[in-house]
Structure 1
Amino acid sequence: MQEHEKKVLEKRKQDAAIKTMYYNRYFMIRYVTVFFLVINLNWVAILYLMDSPTMMLIPCLLLVFAIRAMWEQYTMYTKDQKKARYTKYFHWTSMVINLVIIILVIFQQHQSLFPFIKMSLAGTITVISIQLIGLLLSSLVLVKLKKINLKKDKQYKRVKHYLASIKL
């Protein structure tokens, strides 16, 4: 391999490493979003199988937002990082819906949303617990997104350190 080819190969490796480092800033966010996508997909399937088509609107809406957020995450494999607008919108929407569902559960109005869960104390606690976990995960994602936007996340510091080391 000639010297010129080695330099080109090294440059490609560095570019790929930089893109990957920037992309990994959103690692946790991508997995939480996929988790919500799968949960909502299952919720839609269960409601469909239980003949509750009118209640499928909420998880279908969340699915659409989750798919758009996942597409946005997919397109972030680049050095030029943009703000994750759709991911932020998805997690805000998810938090609002989780809060609304908690309120509905408290007032015993959740049977049509979760016809597969018995309206009892255990069922109520289960639904509220699941919604609280969703709230916690979405709030963690929003905190992480804010850190990324302010360039105060650990991965960004690693990227800057790497960029400084390859310029030596």
Structure 2
Amino acid sequence: MKNDERTVEKNKKELSLKSMYFNRYLLVRYVSAFFFFTNLYWFVSLLMSQSALFLVPLTLLVVLIISIAEQVKMYSDHTNNPKYTRYCFQTLLGTNVLLILPVSFSSSFTHLYPFLIDETRSKLLIFFILITGILLSKHILNRLNQIRHNEDKHYKRIKQYEEVIN
């Protein structure tokens, strides 16, 4: 009976640690979901508009799916260096920076966003969305760098918890 209780308690502690390591990436997962659904909406809109530039969000969706798969895998196989997730956010950052330029040029704007009217309000909306994407990508890359070097707050809490349970 005591052996079973010890095993159950040990399993609970291991599961708690596993969850704590996985939760270091909670913000990364939320932002990945945000980018996924934003690009999915853009992709569907471009398809419905029969724009040939649907490949831009499609490529981003593929990169995001690879990153999301890596993040799911991290639950069972923790890593401090999720290279596909880092590559994903570098790609998103670069794409958002490159997409700011067409906001200034009407012809490119209408090809990338054919579902919007080519006017200043629409351009400001897209500019705001792209700046938000740049800031989010940069923030997540900083967070990934902190996790990689074990400088995040969650890591300190995990180490404190490990000390308590051992």
Q: Normalising TM by the smaller chain, what interval?
A: over 0.9
Question: Could you tell me whether the CA contact under 8 Å between 2:80 and 2:147 is conserved in 1?
Answer: no
Partner of 2:151: 152
Moved more, 133-142 or 79-88: 79-88
Task: Percent identity, please.
Answer: 34
Summarize the alignment of residues 72-91 of structure 1 with structure 2, pairs less than 5 Å apart: 72-78=70-76, 80-91=78-89
Equivalent pairs, count = 165
Return the alpha-carbon distance in structure 2 between the equivalents of residues 123 and 149 of structure 1: 39
C-alpha distance in 2 between matches for 1:123 and 1:129:
10
TM-score of the two chains, using structure 1 as the length reference: 0.95
Structure 2 unmatched ranges of 5 or more: none
Query: Does the 8 A contact of 1:18 with 1:79 survive in 2?
Result: no
CA RMSD of aligned residues (A): 1.0
Amino acid at match of 1:3: K
TM-aligned CA deviation for residue 78 of structure 1: 3.7
Distance in 2 (alpha carbons) for counterparts of 1:82 and 1:47:
36
- Read off the aligned partner of 2:132 and give its amino acid letter: I
**Which residue identity lines up with residue 26 of structure 1 in the other structure?**
Y
- Deviation by residue 1:96-144 (Cα, 9 ceiling, x = unmatched): 1111110111233211010011111111111111100000111110010
Partners of 2:105 and 2:87 lie apart in 1 by: 27
Deviation at 1:80, TM superposition (A): 3.9
Corresponding residue of 1:66 = 64
Give structure 1 regions of 4+ aligned residues with deviation exceeding 3 angstroms.
Answer: none
Match for 1:13: what amino acid? K
What residue in structure 2 maps to residue 138 of structure 1?
137
TM superposition shift of 1:81:
2.0
Confirm or deny: 8 A CA contact 2:22 2:78 kept in the other structure.
no
Match of 2:95 in 1: 97
Tell me how far apart the structure 1 counterparts of residues 94 and 78 of structure 2 sit (CA, whole Å): 31
1:28 maps to which residue? 27
How many Å separate the matches in 1 of 2:60 and 2:124? 23
What amino acid maps onto 1:75 in structure 2? K
CA distance 1:69–1:39, change in 2 (3 Å): same
Matched letter for residue 122 of structure 1:
R
The amino acid of 2:100's aligned partner reads I
Superposed CA offset, 1:46-73 (max 9, x none): 1111111x21110000000000000010
Counterpart code for 1:85: K
Contact 1:76/1:82 (CA < 8 Å) preserved in 2? no
| Contact 2:103/2:123 (<8 A) preserved | yes
